[in-house]
């Protein structure tokens, strides 16, 4: 692991998720830019101190040189500005990669990673964790089966309220780096949570953007990056969309919600009630799909660990991505082609970075702009 040292939130989530199914084990790490903090993290995790490193460069060099028992993959849970250099170096050293989102700071960096993955043949998984929820997979199956009919409208929103005050001025670690253009990149709200909205729409519906009109704003005085964004989207094929994300929606926690409407029916999924999927039409009673039942699609059933009525959530969704990525890694290492891999890829990462920068351009111009994009193969 690179990152995830003392005081980090997401690193612990990744560690728990990776180890949940007993198929992966953390054995090495460069947990902080501070050698002392990295050592402290290694002690707390009961790692061999010979495999706790003061820098990610040292970790990659020494792990690559090991004749036996070297790491199989690198999990990157750092602030955004380190994603590209660490991922590229890990891939070129022969390691598979699991990386947090957004994938890179720029479109050029994201396309460079696409080419690097293609050239090295390594597995690259991006932790858009919401795709790991069973009922999200059920929603995708309903769309694919044609049950919703021709898609007409998509509404996706991710309101949070945690940055309603200038929290970064207090030194709070998570707020500080997410609002720093040098570490977060050109965007805060879109980069942090808006990309989840974009990815969730693409995962469930397969729709590709054609054009967009974005309005990005900084509500809290003194903040360097946007904390609120609204985007109107036209998709190829005629569907229309609304995407809203905000970090200043007072009182909200993590209320990610998606609604997809077709010519026959519509569906709704809420991250704060993740084990339920609502399906509605004009001429039939409302239906509710739930985790763990026999009617679930194969992908939803395969992503479920517990019997019906026992809630599964955030960490389990992360774990589904790690499990699927691990399955693909084992196949590649055995000289095989992974069968139906089900996790966000490097191309999904490139699409997300392109979305961020296209929305910024639209907001700056205050105009509709071309949003079409095909990531490098």
**Domain spans, the chain:** 2-129, 131-307+345-370
- Match domain 2-129 to its CATH number in 3.30.200.20, 3.40.50.720, 3.40.1740.10, 3.20.20.140: 3.40.50.720
131-307+345-370: CATH topology is Dihydrodipicolinate Reductase; domain 2 (3.30.360)
- Asked if pLDDT for residue 303 goes beyond 90, the answer is yes
The pLDDT assigned to 7 comes to 83
Write out pLDDT tens, residues 87-132: 999 999 999 999 999 999 999 999 999 999 999 999 999 999 999 9
Stated pTM of the model: 0.96
- Asked if pLDDT for residue 176 goes beyond 90, the answer is yes
The pLDDT assigned to 302 comes to 96
Residues of the chain with pLDDT > 70, as a percent, come to 100
Indicate the average pLDDT of the chain: 97
- Asked if pLDDT for residue 134 goes beyond 90, the answer is yes
How is 47-112 classified by DSSP, letter by letter?
--GGGB-SSHHHHHHHHHH-SSS--SEEEEES-GGGHHHHHHHHHHTT-EEEEPSS--SSHHHHHH
How is 13-64 classified by DSSP, letter by letter?
HHHHHHHTTSS-----BB--SSHHHHHHHHHHTT--GGGB-SSHHHHHHHHH
Residue 94 Cα distances to 65, 109, 117, angstroms: 11, 19, 10
């Amino acid at each position: 692991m690179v990152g995830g040292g003392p005081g980090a939130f997401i690193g612990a989530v990744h560690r728990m998720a990776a180890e949940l199914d007993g198929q992966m084990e953390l054995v090495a790490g460069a947990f902080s830019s501070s050698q002392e903090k990295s050592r402290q993290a290694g002690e707390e995790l009961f790692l061999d101190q010979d495999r706790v490193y003061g820098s990610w460069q040292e970790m990659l060099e020494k792990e690559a040189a090991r004749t036996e028992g070297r790491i199989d993959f690198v999990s990157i849970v750092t602030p955004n500005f380190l994603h590209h250099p660490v991922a590229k170096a890990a891939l070129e050293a022969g390691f598979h990669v699991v990386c947090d989102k957004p994938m890179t700071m720029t479109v050029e960096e994201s396309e460079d990673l696409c080419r690097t993955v293609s050239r090295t043949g390594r597995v690259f998984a991006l932790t858009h964790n919401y795709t790991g929820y069973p009922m999200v997979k059920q929603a995708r199956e309903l769309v694919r089966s044609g049950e919703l009919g021709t898609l007409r409208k998509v509404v996706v929103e991710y309101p949070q309220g945690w940055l309603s005050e200038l929290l970064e001025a207090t030194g709070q670690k998570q707020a500080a780096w997410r609002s720093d253009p040098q570490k977060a990149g050109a965007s805060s709200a879109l980069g942090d949570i808006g990309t989840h909205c974009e990815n969730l729409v693409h995962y469930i519906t397969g729709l590709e953007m054609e054009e967009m009109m974005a309005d990005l704003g900084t509500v809290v005085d003194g903040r360097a990056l946007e904390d609120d964004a609204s985007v109107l989207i036209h998709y190829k094929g005629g569907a229309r969309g609304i995407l809203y994300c905000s970090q200043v929606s007072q009182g909200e926690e993590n209320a990610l919600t998606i609604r997809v409407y077709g010519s026959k029916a519509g569906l709704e999924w809420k991250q704060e009630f993740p084990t339920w999927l609502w399906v509605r039409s004009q001429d039939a009673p409302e239906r509710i799909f739930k985790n763990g039942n026999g009617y679930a699609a194969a992908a939803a059933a395969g992503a479920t660990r517990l019997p019906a009525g026992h809630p599964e959530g955030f960490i389990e969704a992360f774990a589904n991505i790690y499990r699927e990525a691990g399955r693909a890694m084992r196949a590649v290492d055995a000289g095989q082609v992974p069968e139906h891999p089900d996790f966000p890829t490097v191309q999904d990462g490139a699409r997300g970075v392109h979305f961020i920068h296209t929305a910024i351009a639209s907001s700056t111009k205050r105009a509709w702009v071309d949003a079409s994009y095909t990531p490098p193969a």
